[in-house]
Amino acid sequence: MFHSKRVSKICEQIAIETNFDKDGVDQMRIDGLMHDIGKIGIDEKVLEYDILNNEEWSDVKRHVEIGNRILASVNEIIRCSDSQFDPVVAKIFVENVLGKTWEGTVN
């Protein structure tokens, strides 16, 4: 999570420096936070290895495809907002980045 927060901050700083409006800055920050969401489908132990075999490397490369499927499915984000995703970030992402209506409940 530290990596994603760091990428989020970098995206936010770039947006500020390129004169994005407040909504644009917020969207860039959220995009940075969610950029590796597809890694959720990869065994955590594999992500910790320094050297990967061909099968493990194939799995890691699939994180983009996995992330695309997750993000394309707003219901999945809402459904998993309390177990896999931070509910506050998920709601912001669904409403502000995807431009969809939040149908879940955020505590």
pLDDT, tens only, 14-64: 999 999 999 889 888 888 888 888 887 888 888 777 888 898 888 888 887
Q: Please check whether residue 91 lies inside any domain of the structure.
A: yes
Q: Please check whether residue 45 lies inside any domain of the structure.
A: yes
Compare 54 and 96 and report the one with higher pLDDT.
Answer: 54
How many domains are there within the chain?
1
Q: Please check whether residue 106 lies inside any domain of the structure.
A: no
Q: Please check whether residue 107 lies inside any domain of the structure.
A: no
Q: Give the pTM.
A: 0.52
As a whole number of angstroms, the distance between CA 70 and CA 106 comes to: 19
Angle of helix 2-17 versus helix 22-34 axis, rounded to 10: 150
Q: Please check whether residue 102 lies inside any domain of the structure.
A: no
As a whole number of angstroms, the distance between CA 19 and CA 48 comes to: 37
Q: Please check whether residue 86 lies inside any domain of the structure.
A: yes
As a whole number of angstroms, the distance between CA 61 and CA 89 comes to: 25
Residue 58's domain comprises 2-97
Q: CB-side exposure of 49: number of CA atoms within 13 Å? A: 14
